[in-house]
Amino acid sequence: MTQEPIGSPEIYRLQVNGESHDVQDAWLGESLLYVLRERLGLPGSKGACEQGECGSCTVLLDGAAVCACLVMAASATDADIVTVEGLAPDAALTDVQAAFLDEGAVQCGFCTPGLIVAVHHLLEHNPEPSTLETREALSGNICRCTGYGRIFAAVDAVVASRADQAAR
Amino acid sequence: MSVLTPSTIDEVLAHLAERPEALLLSGGTDVMVEINMAHRKAPAEVVALRRVEQLRLWRHNPSSEGTGGTVTIGSGLPYAEMEHGPLAELFPALAEAARTVGSPQIRAAGTLGGNLGTCSPAGDGLPVLFALDAIVHLRSIGGQRDVPVADFMVGVKQNVLEPGELVTGVTMPIRHGWQGYSKVGVRNAMVIATASACLAMDRDRGAVTLALGAVGTTIIRCRDAEGWLAGELDLSAEPLDISDAVAQEFGRRAAADARPIDDHRSTAAYRGHAVGVLSSRLLRRAAA
Ligand SMILES: Cc1cc2nc3c(=O)[nH]c(=O)nc-3n(C[C@H](O)[C@H](O)[C@H](O)COP(=O)(O)OP(=O)(O)OC[C@H]3O[C@@H](n4cnc5c(N)ncnc54)[C@H](O)[C@@H]3O)c2cc1C
Ligand code: FES
Ligand code: FES
């Protein structure tokens, strides 16, 4: 029993940030990054290199932090996709986003959405990472402005404030 | 263009039988770069493997002869799963190699099936498979073939995969003794190997295996260095006693087996030198 292929110009459906989105009349070789930005109106994920090098397109795909530019969107029809827009409801800031602002971890901001997703992913799996673990976890996210010091300071601030809240 | 998303190996094979030229898509970390950069003509048909749970499993096959048995790793298991945990304990060299691949995002997606499909001499999984004498399992609707990895990879980005065939996984023996992987590149993170080496002791057989990456058209097994070392020392002993002279000679012989070239990443001279240094360092680590 073989399933009918998705073939253009048919519709396929993606689950993004808990909502179902139809993608219509799209070329099926398009990356998830392109589909998110150009077809679904979700421009939070940034595209800089489109070859997996910079991490500015990082999204969660079934809970794994991956480069959206390396996901063929039409192959991810069953996946649970979370973008930077989906981390907090109604355009509120997450604690990680607030810490990036407070610590001055944003300059041009191009790398920021990918880093925010990567930091959420890191702290979900490892709430108190060592310095080395944080550096390793963020090694796929390139920032050409900040020199990373303030980004690591923002991570430390979130770790401290989450630990503080848990202790109360 | 069409995209199929089967969820079992049998469905994949049925699709491939109908469309032998279809492009298999695993983690997409090689395929999508080529599509995004338009180096690869858009494939007419894609069979995506991400829903095939069977390809993401690994299992220990115990042996009756009291040896460690073997482990079969599914072609769709991402590198992230090899870096830590039980699989990393069974194959420390594979864990070390997996940790050097790209970045966390690449390791969450990229697979050994894709490394074998691409078959770049700089692929970090491949020297480990060569050093551990891995068997590559291939299936098509017509049946199964088991091919030693050294026969699977036949040139730069060339393998014996036939249209309609799927790599389902690889099987490697569990060995007693130290094993490790080393790689040099222009920096630490996100770097393709300029030269790499995997060394694995095999105490039960009193042997060592050494495989070199990025210094030839395929991965190179250093039969000369391996045989020479086994003749010099009792490799079933623990701990190993490696003198500086032995480590140096081992590296010299490894470098002599390399067939490096000049390209945009490095020069033949540097690669040959580097791979010798990596090999003798690996041997020193095995004795430490
Ligand atoms: C930023 C970046 C950094 C990288 N760094 C490294 C690195 O440090 N070291 C390294 O080794 N590689 C690196 N790579 C390359 C790539 O990640 C690896 O080669 C990876 O193993 C590919 O696996 P994949 O599952 O993503 O393959 P895919 O892109 O899905 O497929 C690659 C090829 O294999 C074929 N294929 C896939 N699965 C199968 C199967 N089961 N049976 C038959 N054929 C199959 C595909 O048809 C295709 O031809 C990097 C890539 C990027 C984008
Ligand atoms: S745009 Fe995806 S990693 Fe750079
Ligand atoms: S703030 Fe500009 S790239 Fe990071």
> What is the rounded distance in angstroms from the CA atom of residue B53 to the CA atom of residue B7?
7
Q: How many domains does chain B have?
A: 2
Q: Are B158 and B23 in the same domain?
A: yes
Res. B8: pLDDT tops 80: yes
What dihedral angle (degrees, nearest 10) is formed by the CA atoms of A123, A142, B113, B50? 60
Nearest to residue B95, comparing CAs of B198, B247, B16, B166?
Answer: B198
Is B43 within 8 Å of A27 when comparing Cβ atoms? no
Q: Ligand 1 atom 28: the closest Cα is on which residue?
A: B28
* Residue owning tokens 């001499």: B121
Q: Which of residues 38-57 of A touch B (CB under 8 A)?
A: 50-53, 55
Give B238's pLDDT tier (boundaries 50, 70, 90): confident
In the sheet where A19-23 sits, what is the strand order? Answer: A19-23, A12-16, A80-82, A58-61, A64-67
Res. A9: pLDDT tops 70: no
Give A90's pLDDT tier (boundaries 50, 70, 90): confident
Nearest ligand atom owner, CA of B157: 1
Q: Which of residues 140-159 of A touch B (CB under 8 A)?
A: 140-141
Q: Are B165 and B191 in the same domain?
A: no
Using the 3D structure, point to which of B173, B204, B229 is the last residue of a domain: B173
Res. A8: pLDDT tops 60: no
Using the 3D structure, point to which of B173, B188, B210 is the last residue of a domain: B173
Contact B91/B124 with Cβ under 8 angstroms? Answer: no
Res. B125: pLDDT tops 90: yes
Tokens of A129: 């990472």
Alpha helix ranges (H) inside chain B: 9-18, 31-36, 80-83, 86-90, 92-99, 104-109, 112-118, 125-131, 149-152, 223-232, 244-257, 268-287
The answer to whether the CB of A154 is under 6 A from ligand 3 is no
Q: A13-25: per-residue pLDDT in tens? A: 999 999 999 999 8
Q: Are B143 and B8 in the same domain?
A: yes
Q: What is the pLDDT of residue A6?
A: 65
Q: B27-67: per-residue pLDDT in tens? A: 999 999 999 998 777 789 999 999 999 999 999 999 877 67
> What is the rounded distance in angstroms from the CA atom of residue B181 to the CA atom of residue B171?
18
Q: Ligand 3 atom 4: the closest Cα is on which residue?
A: A143
Q: Are B22 and B102 in the same domain?
A: yes
Size of interface A-B (CB pairs under 8 A): 116
CATH number at residue B58: 3.30.465.10
Write the DSSP symbol of residue A39. I
Res. B199: pLDDT tops 70: yes
Q: Are B187 and B276 in the same domain?
A: yes
Is B189 within 8 Å of A58 when comparing Cβ atoms? no
pLDDT-above-70 percentage for chain B: 99
pLDDT mean over B125-152:
98
Q: Which residues contact B250 (CB under 8 A, 6 or more apart)?
A: B225, B228, B229, B279, B280, B283
Q: Are B41 and B154 in the same domain?
A: yes
* Residue owning tokens 């969450």: B108
Write the DSSP symbol of residue B235. T
Tokens of B90: 């069974």
Which residues in chain B touch residue A73, judged by CB atoms under 8 angstroms apart? none
Q: Are B64 and B138 in the same domain?
A: yes
Evaluate whether the domain defined by A89-167 bears CATH number 3.90.1150.10.
Answer: no
- A11-86 in CATH: which number? 3.10.20.30
pLDDT mean over B235-253:
95
Residue span of the structural domain in which B37 resides: 2-173
Contact B51/B74 with Cβ under 8 angstroms? Answer: no
Q: Are B205 and B153 in the same domain?
A: no
Q: How far is the CA of B62 from the centre of ligand 2 (A)?
A: 42
Rounded to 5 degrees, φ, ψ at B126 are -70, -45
Contact A82/A137 with Cβ under 8 angstroms? Answer: no
Alpha helix ranges (H) inside A14-148: 32-34, 95-103, 112-125, 131-137
Q: Are B43 and B124 in the same domain?
A: yes
- Which atom of ligand 2 approaches the CA of A68 most closely? 2
**Phi-psi region at B37: left, alpha or beta (left = phi > 0; alpha = psi -120 to 50):** alpha
Res. B139: pLDDT tops 60: yes
The answer to whether the CB of A138 is under 6 A from ligand 3 is no
Q: What angle do CA B147, B208, B99 make, to 5 degrees?
A: 70
Q: Are B169 and B191 in the same domain?
A: no
CATH number at residue B259: 3.30.390.50
> What is the rounded distance in angstroms from the CA atom of residue B10 to the CA atom of residue B67?
33
Res. B154: pLDDT tops 70: yes
Q: What is the pLDDT of residue A89?
A: 84
Q: Are B63 and B149 in the same domain?
A: yes
Q: What is the pLDDT of residue A91?
A: 81
Q: Ligand 3 atom 2: the closest Cα is on which residue?
A: A108
Q: B204-224: per-residue pLDDT in tens? A: 999 999 999 999 999 999 999
What is each CA distance from B108 to A58, B64, B269, in whole angstroms?
11, 35, 34
Contact A113/A44 with Cβ under 8 angstroms? Answer: yes
Q: A19-78: per-residue pLDDT in tens? A: 999 999 899 999 999 999 999 999 999 999 999 999 999 999 999 999 999 999 999 999
Please report the ipTM that was assigned to this predicted complex. 0.95
Q: What angle do CA B112, B118, B119 make, to 5 degrees?
A: 85
- Mean pLDDT computed over every residue of chain B: 96
> What is the rounded distance in angstroms from the CA atom of residue A87 to the CA atom of residue A100?
15
Res. B96: pLDDT tops 80: yes
Contact A127/A112 with Cβ under 8 angstroms? Answer: no
What is each CA distance from B22 to B93, B136, B186, B223, in whole angstroms?
33, 21, 36, 38
The secondary element (H helix, E strand) that includes residue B72 is strand B70-74
Is B104 within 8 Å of A139 when comparing Cβ atoms? yes
> What is the rounded distance in angstroms from the CA atom of residue B232 to the CA atom of residue B213?
25
Provide the strand spans (E) within chain A: 6-7, 12-16, 19-23, 58-61, 64-67, 80-82
Nearest to residue B63, comparing CAs of B153, B173, B139?
Answer: B173
> What is the rounded distance in angstroms from the CA atom of residue B137 to the CA atom of residue B55?
11
Q: Are B31 and B147 in the same domain?
A: yes
Res. A1: pLDDT tops 70: no
The domain locations on chain A are 11-86, 89-167
Q: Which residues contact B272 (CB under 8 A, 6 or more apart)?
A: B215, B255, B258, B260
Res. A4: pLDDT tops 80: no
Q: What is the pLDDT of residue A108?
A: 97
Is A66 within 8 Å of B18 when comparing Cβ atoms? no
pLDDT mean over B172-201:
94
pTM: 0.96
- Mean pLDDT computed over every residue of chain A: 94
Contact B96/B90 with Cβ under 8 angstroms? Answer: no
Q: What is the pLDDT of residue B198?
A: 98
